[in-house]
């Protein structure tokens, strides 16, 4: 499998680094970017071939992974359209909010396209990615896309593209919500008297520990919460405040606002 990354930013860098760490052949990876500093960095850091122009990088390619900003996606994909129609690689879109139907309109209705939504922890190979494949994508191509994204974390498929807006709201935007909660916990503990550095470290280690327990334990989240909550204890009192302030409705409102905005952006970016 020969892969060309179009756009050499953080996501492309994390995917390239993950693939190489997994033993992928460096000679089968190339990248295209107009920024000479990015090309130099990727070449020196990973040993991959870096191009300033699209055509030479798309000569012998099985997967063209577009890692460009959503607002630039249409322009870039149309610039590559002739080479893509000739070679017919799998298109892997890692640009948020771009629907596969719009990509097919800009390229060709027969184009195999996988849409991916990853998140920033992918930079640490701890990402969470949602994938959707259009009807023109065969099983081998689905496997190719999954193997690329698995280099940076876990992968889950959805079979209804509209659910990618939920993935965007949940895991795409989710890290920021956890960061915001950790900000508040750190600030409050500092106001209560803990040194800021101590409050910071205790907060993030607590978040890490809870996430690892949720990931590695065989128990569901409700069971894990109940085990930490002693009747009449401190945890129960804190949870009562959450319930009294309708924490479930707050989370619903947060995710719904992000999902709605994802739909709006897809409508805007998909206009031809």
Q: How many folded domains does the chain comprise?
A: 2
pLDDT score recorded for residue 61: 94
Residues contacting residue 141 through CB under 8 Å, at least 6 positions apart: 90, 112, 114, 133
The answer to whether position 272 is within a domain reads: no
* Residue ranges in the chain assigned as alpha helix (H): 10-21, 36-46, 54-57, 70-79, 81-87, 100-106, 139-149, 164-167, 174-191, 196-216, 221-228, 234-244, 247-269
Quick check: 172 and 261 in contact, CB under 8 A? no
The model carries a pTM of: 0.92
The DSSP annotation for 135-154 comes to TT--HHHHHHHHHHHGGGEE
Residues contacting residue 115 through CB under 8 Å, at least 6 positions apart: 93, 98, 99, 100, 103, 131, 132, 133, 161, 164
- Please check whether residues 61 and 103 belong to one and the same domain: yes
- Please check whether residues 70 and 104 belong to one and the same domain: yes
The answer to whether position 167 is within a domain reads: no
Q: Which two tokens stand for residue 240?
A: 């009562």
- Please check whether residues 178 and 139 belong to one and the same domain: no
pLDDT score recorded for residue 97: 87
Q: How far apart are CA 63 and CA 40, in angstroms?
A: 22
pLDDT score recorded for residue 96: 87
Q: Using the 3D structure, point to which of 161, 194, 226 is the last residue of a domain.
A: 161
Angle, CA 42 vertex, CA 149 and CA 46 arms, to 5°: 75
- Please check whether residues 86 and 217 belong to one and the same domain: no
The answer to whether position 46 is within a domain reads: yes
List the CATH number of the domain containing 103: 3.40.50.720
Q: Using the 3D structure, point to which of 161, 188, 216 is the last residue of a domain.
A: 161
- Please check whether residues 152 and 210 belong to one and the same domain: no
Low-confidence ranges of the chain (pLDDT < 70): 271-272
Closest CA to 157 of 191, 177, 131: 131
Q: Which residues pair with 51 in a beta bridge?
A: 32
Q: Write out the residue range of the structural domain in which residue 240 sits.
A: 174-264
The answer to whether position 271 is within a domain reads: no
- Please check whether residues 18 and 145 belong to one and the same domain: yes
- Please check whether residues 69 and 193 belong to one and the same domain: no
List the CATH number of the domain containing 230: 1.10.3730.10
């Amino acid at each position: 499998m020969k892969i060309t990354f179009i756009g050499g930013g953080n996501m492309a860098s994390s995917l390239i680094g993950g693939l190489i760490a997994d033993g992928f052949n460096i000679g089968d990876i190339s990248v295209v970017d107009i920024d000479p500093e990015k090309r130099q960095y990727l070449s020196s850091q990973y040993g991959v071939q870096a191009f300033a122009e699209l055509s030479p990088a798309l000569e012998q390619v099985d997967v063209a992974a577009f890692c460009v900003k959503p607002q630039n996606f249409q322009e870039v994909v149309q610039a590559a359209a002739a080479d893509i129609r000739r070679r017919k690689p799998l298109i892997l879109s890692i640009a948020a909010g771009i629907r596969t139907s719009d990509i097919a309109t800009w390229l060709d209705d027969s184009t195999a396209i996988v849409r991916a939504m990853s998140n920033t922890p992918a930079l640490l190979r701890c990402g969470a990615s949602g994938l959707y494949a259009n009807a023109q994508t065969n099983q081998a191509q689905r496997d190719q896309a999954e193997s690329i994204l698995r280099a940076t974390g876990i992968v889950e498929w959805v079979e209804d593209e509209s659910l990618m807006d939920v993935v965007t709201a949940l895991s795409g935007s989710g890290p920021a919500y956890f960061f915001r909660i950790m900000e508040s916990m750190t600030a409050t503990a500092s106001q209560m008297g803990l040194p800021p550095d101590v409050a910071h470290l205790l907060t993030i280690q607590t978040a890490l520990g809870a996430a690892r327990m949720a990931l590695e334990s065989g128990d569901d989240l409700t069971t894990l919460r109940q085990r930490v909550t002693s009747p009449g204890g401190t945890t129960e009192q804190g949870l009562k405040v959450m319930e009294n302030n309708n924490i479930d409705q707050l989370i619903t409102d947060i995710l719904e606002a992000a999902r709605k905005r994802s739909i709006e952006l897809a409508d805007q970016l998909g206009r031809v």
